[in-house]
Chain A
Amino acid sequence: MISNLWLHPGLILLAGALVLPLVKGRLFRPCLLLVPMLAFGAVLLMPQGEFGVVPFLEWNLTFGRVDRLSLVFANIMTLMCIIGTLYGLHVDNPFEMAAAWIYVAGSLGVIFAGDFLVLFLFWEIMAFSSVFLVWFRVRPESVWAGFRYLLVHAAGGMVLLAGIVLLYHATGDLGFHQLDVTRPTLPMYLILTGFLLNAAVPPLHAWLPDAYGEATVSGAVFMCAFTTKTAVYALARGFAGMEILIPLGVVMALYGVVYAVLENDARRLLAYHIISQVGYMVAGVGIGTDLAINGACAHAFAHILYKGLLFMGVGSVLYMTGKSRFTDLGGLYRRMPRAFVFTLIGGLSISAFPLFSGFVSKSMIVAAGFEDHLYWAAFLLTLASAGTFLHTGLKVPYFIWFGKNNCSDDTWEKAEDPPMHMQVAMGIAAFLCLFIGIHTPYLYDMLPYATAYEPYTAYHVTESMQILLFTALGFFILLKKLTPKPFISLDMDWFYRMGGRVFQLGAQKGMDYLSVRAHKYLGNALPRGLNRFSQSGPARLSLLLIRPLWYLTGVKVLGPDGAEKQFTDTFSQSLFTIGSSAVFIIIVLMVLLFFIT
């Protein structure tokens, strides 16, 4: 993967992941920080162009297609890898961080992939490495959630592969570039389905809250950044302007908001808001104009930072107290004030408050919707943004750090601000959220297209402030309605969780039934019937001939003392029976053979 002095940043992470379990003692933590920094440095110094072209069978596989679109995603992915690793510095299990790095390497591999084969390879690496970030939490629930996550992604990967194979069969081209979205074909729909599953588009989204809610504290910080945003990249690369993505994106934005109202687990609530936020990006890709694609990229960039920050903030509560449900928390501002401030900054960023990162990124997509006269989409996305503030900006901070104190004595004792490395990681993310929001050229200059967009107009600021403040008013008026309750909400995973049980039950009962029937008919009735057939077959044949003679001569045929009974008794007792049975069976077999051939 090295050519023309080009080093794949994913290779650095893969090498680091291989070496990491061997590093012991004092070198372990410096090594942890060094590797993602090297990867980030490699992205920063990377020239644009095509690198890492490897001949394989009849194809030329491209591992390094570097342009502005891939660079902006690679930049934020590696940056988040540094922050996530710093946050997870307390983790002693080297395999957890190694899994996280392989996962990031998979994501970078997809981002730099120039063809579908390389894309698929890294796509699968992502799924199979990230599942360990769920499993390493060790709880039985996490193990099962991990298996569900893996099965869903394996299925999605198969659909993607089917699409790639059919596309290659139809066009003879493996290159991963913009597809003709005006004339979608079956292979394109299959590839799109694979991408949409990873982007967590309903109804293919349930793996996300299921797995992210069960992941390890630092694992969730990684997971919330990479899978969905890599899918957004893939959509932006291949399906820009595909109109069906606009309604799908709007549905996502609203779906996440609705489930967030019902959610009692803070990390699952944040997971539902990933779906909601990725909805903006998917809609942006669907709109497909330069401004909209820029918006999708900018929002992915901002989203990775503030969502990482939110998962770090709520994760630090989970790390310190072992609780993530609102009904087990509350009133913690006295015990964990810094975690509160960092989470609040994340909440204000996702809610698109002026001066925070979401304000300068989300608005690009909504503005692109208005510019394209897609008023319904733009208004519904704005409505969803009110919901975002309602939950992530208000509900999460309020019910963890204020509100009714539901903490047990034990929880209250354990609760305090997390270790310094976690605070530094949150501090960096919080700084970047503000920096992007205030100094807009930092992000805007990285975007793939050159478009002039100014978020800080009097109209836009007034519009946003009105929406946000009056949403807050609604929140405090309806506070009682929003009080979390110890319930879970059923989602699409019900179908495979309960469907699995139905299948298991069906298979079990079905097998029982089959076994009993097989024993009864194949094991008993059939051999007995065959036995009788071959034993009494000659006698019955003879009876067919003799019976008319008996009737003609007036012999008593039926009854216990009748001629028929006497005949069969004699027949079965004589030696002749054996020979005649053998002849009879041979004749029957020959007749069968004749008909078969």
Chain B
Amino acid sequence: MIVGLIEFLKRRLNRVILVCCVIMALLVGFDALLLDKNKAHTAAEHLPGFWAVFGLVSCVVIIFVSKWFGKLGITRREDYYDQ
């Protein structure tokens, strides 16, 4: 059943991607237009789609900073400690 569902979604990958994009757009739209932001902690959060940008930027920053960090000599061959 699980495999069937996954293969069903895989065959319709383009449609799945489209649905995801629509959901994300709706979410940001909801945030920008309808959401009551009284519970926001800081002024910046009142910007439309603040957390969406925060999420995307966080992801990119984490990946690039980590890769840069790894290149400082942190990543080594797997047999490093066996030599």
Contact = CB atoms under 8 A, between A and B. Distances in A.
Contacts of A578: none
Contact of B70 (A261, A463, A467): A261
A486 B78 contact: yes
7 contacts: A337-B3, A390-B62, A463-B51, A478-B63, A488-B76, A490-B73, A490-B74
A487 B75 contact: yes
Interface string B17-37: 000100110011011000111
A375 B41 contact: yes
Nearest to A394: B59
A457 B38 CA distance: 11
A490 B59 CA distance: 23
Contacts of A378: 41
A6 B75 CA distance: 52
Contact of A469 (B27, B30, B60): B27
Contacts of A462: 27, 30-31, 35, 51
B63 A474 contact: yes
A467 B51 contact: yes
Chain A interface size, as a band, is: 35 or more
Given A383-B62, A470-B24, A337 B80 contact: no
A470 B55 contact: yes
A508 interface: no
A112 to B, nearest CB: 38
Contacts of B54: 382-383, 386, 466-467, 470
Given A383-B62, A387-B62, A470-B24, A488 B56 contact: no
B15 interface: no
A340 B2 contact: yes
Interface of B: 2-3, 6, 20, 23-24, 27-28, 30-31, 35-42, 45, 49, 51-56, 58-63, 65-67, 69-70, 73-78, 80-81
A346 B29 CA distance: 30
A566 B5 CA distance: 113
A576 B23 CA distance: 115
- Kindly name the residue among B49, B53, B66, B80 whose own CB sees the greatest number of chain A CB atoms within 10 A: B66
Interface string A232-264: 000000000000000000000000011101100
A488 B28 CA distance: 39
B52 A470 contact: yes
Given A462-B27, A467-B52, 4 more contacts: A458-B36, A466-B31, A469-B27, A481-B67
B63 to A, nearest CB: 5
A181 interface: no
- Kindly name the residue among A459, A460, A470 whose own CB sees the greatest number of chain B CB atoms within 10 A: A470
Contacts of A464: 51
Interface in A441-463: 457-460, 462-463
B62 A386 contact: yes
A571 B37 CA distance: 112
A379 B76 CA distance: 32
A257 B59 CA distance: 11
Interface in A476-500: 478, 481-482, 485-490, 497
A490 B24 contact: no
A459 B59 CA distance: 21
A466 B35 contact: no
Contacts of A259: 66
Contact of B56 (A470, A481, A482): A470
A85 B40 CA distance: 44
A95 interface: no
Contacts of B20: 469
A207 B3 CA distance: 38
B75 A468 contact: no
A470 B59 contact: yes
Contacts of B24: 469-470, 473
A488 to B, nearest CB: 5
A341 interface: yes
Nearest to A337: B2
